[in-house]
Structure 1
Amino acid sequence: MHFEVHHIQRVLLLAAAVTSVQVPDPSFSLSNERTSIERTYELTKYLEHQLREIKDTYLSYLGPPFSDPDFSPPRPNSTALSLPSAATRLELWRGLENRARLAQNQRAYSVLLGAVRELARSTLCPYLQSSLLHFSTGLDGLLGSISGLMNTLGYALPPAGIEAQYPRRGKGGDGEATGRRPAPLMSQGLYKTGAGMGA
């Protein structure tokens, strides 16, 4: 899944960067556009590195069999379970206007940011939580960069994304911020011993 998210991120951002420069706008500053696109690209490359770090940490946290080098996750039966596609067909993506493409970018990263924050709140592993929170900070910056590019182009920003459903980590911890204790991804006993994961 992490590889799929990484691939989708690169496709979305590179497509947005390539097509955004084609917008004719006399009042638009080319230097500001170039700076916004460069910042967005740099953040994307940085998040690519963070995804690799989080993948290794998360698999280690889950323990065997997930952390085994030759582990291959089972694939669902397509007749029993229908999974939605995580990507837009290339011809449809190219047919979108710049405004719609950037809005889709922001919406997709908003969903990803909400999921990463929720995972950070629910994990019992301090190192994994720190990595996820660091990653969410980068995603937040990337969303800000996309919003800045849309503002520069004179585009209206879409409604607040799904990440608004997940509060930021407060000084008193996530439990205080939400009024409830987050559910662990796995029990502390399994985390310490890895027992029961080999089946």
Structure 2
Amino acid sequence: MNLPRAVIFDMDNTLHDLRRARHCAADALMAYCGIFGDLHMYSLNKNPPTLIEDAVTQYLADGVDGDFEECTWLYHTLELACISPFEGIEEMLSDLKSEGVRLAVISNADRPDMEKRMKALGYEQYFELVVTPETFGVKKPNPEVYQKTLEALGVSPEETVMIGDKKDRDVRPPRELGIKGVHATFGSVDKRDKICAVDSPAEFLELIKKS
């Protein structure tokens, strides 16, 4: 077995199902307000820091009678409460950690949101490096974020695997540096990558153990 020295993960929709959490939060907020509008359309599958605030603003502007501060607080609270790991994630992380593989996360979410999600999922024990846009002043898909992460871990591109749900920022950019990029189809809405893709955390673990 020739495991990589390091594995870098995307966070949202790779290590946990953020899309499902946002669906649940949107449904609950709309039920609370008593009007089922376009909140799903406003909020799903996007990740600017102002996402929830913008989504709620548009929802309330559609004629919903609700308080902005109360609605945004409720949405954030419910989203965090609803996040859950994909089946097999915990076992995969534990296995890699026990084999001495260095684990890191690169996310475009801002640091406070990232820390809340990591804590809610209980992932802090697995990762020695958590990279957000604040860490190096750059974010995906800028190749510099991958280069600086490699330097921080003290590993080479050839010794590293990156897995994520977004082909345009988690898979292709690291490949340009020589990192093996793997498409996590189990959390993705992108068309399956033709070079390297896996359909479950267990399949990813099997893949890198065979590499």
The reply to whether TM is greater than 0.5 is no
TM category, shorter: under 0.3
In terms of Rg, which structure is larger?
Answer: 1
Per the normalisation by structure 1, the TM-score is 0.27
Q: Taking structure 2 as the reference length, what is the TM-score of the superposition?
A: 0.26
The structure in which a higher percent of residues are helix is: 1
